[in-house]
Structure 1
Amino acid sequence: MPNERLRAAMAAGGWTYAALAAKVEVDPKSVERWVNLNRTPRRTTAMVAAETLGEDVHALWPALRQARAARAVSPELVALYEQRADLPVSAFVEMLTQARERVDVLVYAAVFLHEAYPRLNDLLRERAASGCAVRIAVGDANSPNVQQRGQEEKFGHGIESRCRLALMHYRPLLDTPGIEVRTHGTTLYNSLYRADDQLMANAHVWGVNAYGAPVWHLRRHSEGGMFDTYVQSFNAVWATATPVEER
């Protein structure tokens, strides 16, 4: 089916195949295929042609709009889960098991990990013994931001008790070389679970418990991508967090 919009635009401006081809630096046969076979040129070429014709590039080649949307999906996105409850704990465990250099956990409580996988502390000790730097940041139960989160997710004081429970779970790790545990009082927008170049980000949604909110699994693809954005966020919170002392 011919590209009639393009044909009309060329006719209105008196453009021949050869003249437009010369302007955008392509072969005249390419322009002919754009018109008669409705072929879509490369985006950069299409933008020059559209500007030359005084037309909107997406009006001439709607497929470019779809192509842009397709490329908007980050190459770092491995998987997207509608809610954390859809993600088996084994997925977190498998990711942490693969860590060779670093494990970072930033949460308010996330007691589901210890409850569903009682060997979590053993796993973290094994990772630390193999050379991993392990950093765990849990919510400070006395922080106004943590308490506010409890009210927002309609869990009341439950979140404070969960933060204390999480800290109780991690306390046995305080004397383990290579493992640091801190408490933070930040407004947390995502719970983060990182193992080297992989990361699970559990979104925080107002009025919804974390288990009912989405999770995206990322794998670092290039410098400055989504993965690095979350790592920078973790580091910023970590810098404000308070080290937990051994009793």
Structure 2
Amino acid sequence: MANDRLRTAMLAANLTIETLAEKVGKHEKSVENWIRTERVPHPQTRAMVVKVLGVREVDLWPSLRESPRPAADEAELLHLYPSRSAITGAIWQELLAGVEEQMDVLVFSGAFLVEQYDLVPLIQRKAKDGVRFRLLVGDEQAEAVVQRAIDEGTPGGLEGRIQLMRRYLADVVDLDNVEVRTHGTILYNSIYRFDDQLLVNPHAHGALAGQSPVMHFKRHPSGNIWNHYMKSFERVWQIAIPENGEVNHGQD
């Protein structure tokens, strides 16, 4: 199995295979093997790697725990980012480019995905290949949206960003495999699903979404966290309003 924890930590630190190899004094092939096979380096090498990446050994190699296997929640968690703005462009681009089956998004606006990462052309391209997209954005007139903008200290600003996002998505709303719906629920978390990987951005009262932490999960057979957040997504999806007036009951 690939070591997604190591790969994610490297992306978070803006390090390539070449730069990490140089920093820890190892051959690039060694680093490639650590990622591709989950091979655990020698203790001295591990110490250098975690120092460079700023994480713990067990965050990269859970097998080093005294327990024979990590708890399900620890197995699912790949990385914890101190804020959404701390997620590098390389991570967003890898997640978006890597989608092969399904992408789900639950936000109020999410316009940054279009403006910074060309989400619309990506949807147009991948939808033709059968990738399914479900996009939940806010209703700018909903009470929860208006109150959220006030709480953030940006009255009217959030509503404008939502209108902008809905305009962006109007270019893909009628495509096969694409569904866009609006909701007026309280947004406890923004959710971004990329096949079997999940970013969850909890929200704090009075703080902007970009200032709040993000948890990066990977679906695990015995884990509960993935299902917990995706059930939340599904509940909102069921009561949301289709932008094109149609409901496509596609399979997950």
Find the counterpart in structure 2 of residue 186 from structure 1: 185
AA partner of residue 224 (structure 2): G
Tell me if 1:94 matches 2:94.
Answer: yes
The change in CA–CA distance for 1:164 and 1:186 in structure 2 (over 3 A counts) is same
Displacement of 1:72 = 8.3
Deviations, residues 122-157 of structure 1 (Å, cap 9, x unaligned): 111222122111101100001001111111111111
Find the counterpart in structure 1 of residue 78 from structure 2: 78
The 8 Å contact of residues 96 and 194 in structure 1, kept in 2 or not, is answered as no
The 8 Å contact of residues 80 and 216 in structure 1, kept in 2 or not, is answered as yes
Displacement of 1:175 = 2.1
3-state SS in 2 of match to 1:180: strand
Deviations, residues 40-70 of structure 1 (Å, cap 9, x unaligned): xxxxxxxxxxxxxxxxxxxxxxxxxx98xx8
AA partner of residue 136 (structure 1): L
Displacement of 1:217 = 0.7
Find the counterpart in structure 2 of residue 16 from structure 1: none
Displacement of 1:88 = 1.9
Displacement of 1:111 = 1.4
Tell me if 1:154 matches 2:153.
Answer: yes
Tell me if 1:222 matches 2:221.
Answer: yes
Displacement of 1:189 = 0.7
Alignment of 1:136-155 (within 5 A): 136-155=135-154
3-state SS in 2 of match to 1:205: coil
Please give the root-mean-square deviation of Cα atoms over the aligned residues, in Å. Answer: 1.9
Find the counterpart in structure 1 of residue 207 from structure 2: 208
Displacement of 1:71 = 4.9
The 8 Å contact of residues 197 and 218 in structure 2, kept in 1 or not, is answered as yes
The 8 Å contact of residues 104 and 193 in structure 2, kept in 1 or not, is answered as yes
The 8 Å contact of residues 76 and 218 in structure 1, kept in 2 or not, is answered as yes
3-state SS in 1 of match to 2:220: coil
Find the counterpart in structure 1 of residue 46 from structure 2: none
* Bigger radius of gyration: 1
Find the counterpart in structure 2 of residue 241 from structure 1: 240
Displacement of 1:116 = 1.2
Displacement of 1:234 = 0.7
The 8 Å contact of residues 120 and 169 in structure 2, kept in 1 or not, is answered as yes
Find the counterpart in structure 2 of residue 30 from structure 1: none
Alpha-carbon separation, structure 2, partners of 1:208 and 1:149: 10
Tell me if 1:116 matches 2:116.
Answer: yes
3-state SS in 1 of match to 2:74: coil
Displacement of 1:223 = 4.7
3-state SS in 2 of match to 1:237: helix
Alpha-carbon separation, structure 1, partners of 2:202 and 2:224: 18
The 8 Å contact of residues 85 and 212 in structure 1, kept in 2 or not, is answered as yes
The 8 Å contact of residues 75 and 223 in structure 2, kept in 1 or not, is answered as no
Please, what TM-score do these two structures have when normalized by structure 1?
0.68
Alpha-carbon separation, structure 2, partners of 1:168 and 1:89: 24
Displacement of 1:89 = 3.2
Please, what TM-score do these two structures have when normalized by structure 2?
0.67
Alignment of 1:29-108 (within 5 A): 71=71, 74-108=74-108
Alpha-carbon separation, structure 1, partners of 2:146 and 2:243: 20
* Structure 1: gaps of 5 or more residues: 1-65
Alpha-carbon separation, structure 1, partners of 2:223 and 2:80: 20
Displacement of 1:209 = 0.2
The 8 Å contact of residues 139 and 183 in structure 1, kept in 2 or not, is answered as yes
* Structure 2: gaps of 5 or more residues: 1-65, 246-252
Deviations, residues 15-38 of structure 1 (Å, cap 9, x unaligned): xxxxxxxxxxxxxxxxxxxxxxxx
The change in CA–CA distance for 1:113 and 1:141 in structure 2 (over 3 A counts) is same
Displacement of 1:73 = 5.5
